[in-house]
A = this chain, B = another copy of it.
Amino acid sequence: MSFAQQSAHHPSSSAKLPSRTHTCGALHLDQLNQQVRLCGWVAKRRDHGGLIFIDLRDRYGITQVVFEPSCPDFQWAEKLRSEFVIQVTGLVRARPEGMVNPRLSTGTIEVVAQKLNLLSEAQTPPFAIEDETDVAESVRLEYRYLDLRRPYLQRNLVTRHKMLQIVRRHLDENHFIEIETPILYKSTPEGARDFIVPSRLNPGSFYALPQSPQTLKQLLMISGMDRYFQIARCFRDEDLRADRQPEFSQIDIETSFLSEEELFPILESMIQKLWKQILNVDIATPFPRMPYHEAMSRFGSDKPDVRFGLELQDLSDIFAQSGFQVFQNALAKNSRGIAGSVRALVVHPSATSQPSEQFSRKDLDDLTKVAASYGAKGLLWIKVQEGGELQSPAAKFFTDTEKSALKSRLDLKPGSLVLIVADKNKVVFDALGALRLNLGERLGLMPKTDIQNARAQDFAFLWVTRFPLLEFDDKENRYFACHHPFTSPRPEFFDDFIGGKNLDAIEASAYDMVLNGVEVGGGSLRIYRPDVQAAMFKLLGLTEQEAEAKFGFFLQALKYGTPPHGGLAFGVDRLAALLCGVGPIRDVMAFPKTQRGHCVMSSSPSEVDHSQLQELHILTVKSKSS
């Protein structure tokens, strides 16, 4: 009789002794001498001194099980291999002195087996079930159900679970109602393509999968639900970047009547609970509020990493009269009367380093490439020599007044390194913002967080507020809404907005929550006045008819008594990754896809039967160009 046939193959259970009395992470000296029953996977097997030691693993931990020759099932224990699933009945015993494992929660005990019940055999897995692994990710994704046995991924999924429970409990306590919105919905593009679904019952018609529940949550405010939330599944058919997924989850929130300052504390306390309950870290509130313009001018980013300094310095006034063509071009006003700027990063010498020496020609070339990738035509560097002289390819263009102002403004010392970008503001900020982060890494200014021993100072939260409402596109020669066309200007700008004046200066009631240079959430107060909405569409170049055709019923809904409302969405995957202290969001998802939107495990997407397509009244078309 084979092992498979011999064994009961069915977990034994009774009122006295259920299928499992404890998990594999539970037993301690408190349970000494108790008869227990465990279920789990054979993680390791060691034969030693005539005994068989099994590390029995489940989600909760590992328990050492010992088979002694006196055990009636000893011969069966000899057949155990990795990843076999077993049920063991036995007695809890203290491990001998030298065998205690302080790294295991169950490390002081072992279970001496009385009975072994084989539940399932296992083929040899294609990789070992261990946190440390160098098997290619594509293999792990193909065998994701084995990959998910690794404690690393299990811990991440458990953390994600805890996060969701804490979030919901907090919002429930604050009178938010969880409402499920449709996934089979209507195409309303939000900067990415929609996934669409052919309708069999309505040939030629398609549903679209929502990029977010934006219009639906606004409709729920119009319907008076007051406070809404959902862990909403969102879908975007974008060209995937390394850390993007075609579907992802958001903590989606909307409220009525609250100002920004009344909304923020609700979310800050949610963050406090998450950080306290998951990481045991006390996050201070309120978070700093940093207006967009300040974030850009100090850090070159609308999601600044404020864990370190190295702030941007504005040198435009110093070079206002400069004869240097590069600076002149940057500082000249464009056709819309807007000037660029000349800004710099400064790396000062320290006890251990001399940046002017440390940064080689190659380093500067690398930095120049970084700047160039953001559109900068060049990166101007200045090294401060031993005696205070400025060494630079552009040194000859600086007057003595300018050099003097520079030294004074930037507090230059021998050994300092200055990096200058001069261009229109967007290029300057993007380039210097990126360089700042690059330097932050190179110079070890970015703290490394040990998530197991996280401290409050590891986490720099802030709100970035007062985003610009509109962005002028030179190519298309018109304005675009920076966020979406339902984002409201701040009230102090209503008159200008409706009057179409000073458009570049108009600020939105838009806000992002930033953590360590990552945008974890963002939102805005919405337009709820028809005159403001009409002004927005006019500004965006949409006629009334075009707006009707595009947003149809939603514009209708706005006319029936729309409350002031606004909200926010947090990326669940991103937030979970931060709480887990891991990088790629794939590591906090059960079944992620690849960059081409493939699920390697299930081989989807895949072809479907022709008959299925026929029923749906569609045909696939071989593209002429790939």
Contact = CB atoms under 8 A, between A and B. Distances in A.
B224 A120 contact: no
Interface in A123-169: 123, 125, 143-149, 154, 157-158, 160-161, 164-165, 168-169
Interface stretch (A255-263, A311-319, A421-429, A462-470): A255-263
16 contacts: A9-B494, A10-B564, A18-B262, A59-B224, A87-B257, A119-B564, A182-B247, A183-B233, A185-B604, A186-B604, A187-B606, A202-B605, A204-B622, A205-B606, A617-B621, A619-B620
Interface centre among A184, A564, A620 (most CB of B within 10 A): A184
Give the contact-size bracket for chain A.
35 or more
A617 B606 contact: no
A246 interface: yes
B157 A591 contact: no
A76 interface: no
Given A177-B158, A616-B196, A608 B183 contact: no
Contacts of A222: 145
A267 interface: no
A433 B168 CA distance: 43
A500 to B, nearest CB: 17
B145 A560 contact: yes
A612 B208 CA distance: 11
Nearest to A163: B178
Interface string A328-358: 0000000000000000000000000000000
A104 interface: no
Contact of A561 (B84, B256, B603): B84
Nearest to A187: B608
Interface in A196-242: 196-209, 216, 219-220, 222-226, 231, 233, 235, 237, 239-240
Q: How many of these chains are in the complex?
A: 2
Contacts of A193: 200, 612, 615
Interface string A530-543: 01000000000000
B9 A529 contact: yes
Contacts of A178: 161, 164-165
A597 interface: yes
A239 to B, nearest CB: 8
Given A197-B196, A597-B201, A603 B552 contact: yes
Contact of A123 (B154, B207, B559, B620): B559
B528 A119 contact: yes
Given A182-B591, A205-B607, A618-B620, 7 more contacts: A19-B259, A85-B561, A120-B529, A122-B561, A146-B560, A148-B225, A187-B612
A526 to B, nearest CB: 12
A169 B607 CA distance: 40
Contacts of A224: 41, 57-59, 148-149, 154
Closest 10 CB pairs of A and B: A122-B561, A148-B223, A186-B604, A205-B605, A83-B561, A199-B605, A186-B602, A145-B219, A39-B257, A59-B226
Interface centre among A196, A559, A596 (most CB of B within 10 A): A196
Contacts of A169: 165, 169
A264 interface: no
A180 B589 contact: yes
B158 A620 contact: no
Contact of A186 (B164, B194, B259, B606): B606
Nearest to A19: B257
Contacts of A528: 119-120
Interface string A356-373: 000000000000000000
Interface in A536-563: 552-553, 557, 559-563
Given A257-B19, A257-B39, A559-B123, A186 B603 contact: yes
Interface string A258-300: 1101100000000000000000000000000000000000000
Interface string A561-602: 111100000000000000000000000011101001111011
A620 B203 contact: yes
Contact of A200 (B145, B223, B237, B562): B237
Contact of A531 (B4, B179, B235): B4
A116 to B, nearest CB: 15
A74 interface: no
A180 to B, nearest CB: 6
B11 A257 contact: yes
B597 A202 contact: yes
Nearest to A596: B201
A621 B231 CA distance: 37
Nearest to A263: B19
A566 to B, nearest CB: 11
A249 B119 CA distance: 33
A60 interface: yes
Contacts of A621: 203, 614, 617-619
Nearest to A490: B10
Contact of A596 (B4, B202, B560, B618): B202
B205 A553 contact: no
A606 B146 contact: no
A480 interface: no
B59 A225 contact: yes
A68 interface: no
A323 interface: no
Contacts of A185: 599, 602, 604
A20 interface: yes
A13 interface: yes
A179 B187 CA distance: 28
A217 to B, nearest CB: 10
A416 B147 CA distance: 67
Contacts of A605: 184, 186, 197, 199, 202, 205-207
